Amino acid sequence: MCNTIRKHTKRIDDQVLYTRVEIDGGVTGLNIEKLVEAGADVLLQEVLFLKVPIQLLLLLT
């Protein structure tokens, strides 16, 4: 998933587009940091909010 995010982030940057990369599904407390590092801007999954402390979510925004 991270390679796909990097690929699309590069295309967005190369074309100087103003958009956000949104991931809806497959987001867990174990991969959230890697997804953000790969270029994801918006991460969606209801279960995430039950497993990740709010302090971590605030640090990533």
Q: What is the pLDDT of residues 1-29, one digit of tens each?
A: 899 999 999 999 999 999 999 998 888 88
| pTM, entire model | 0.67
Domain count across the chain? 1
pLDDT of residue 38: 95
Contacts of residue 3, defined as CB under 8 A and 6 or more positions apart, other chains included, come to 38
Whole-angstrom Cα distance, residue 41 to residue 33? 11
Q: Which domain holds residue 21?
A: 2-60
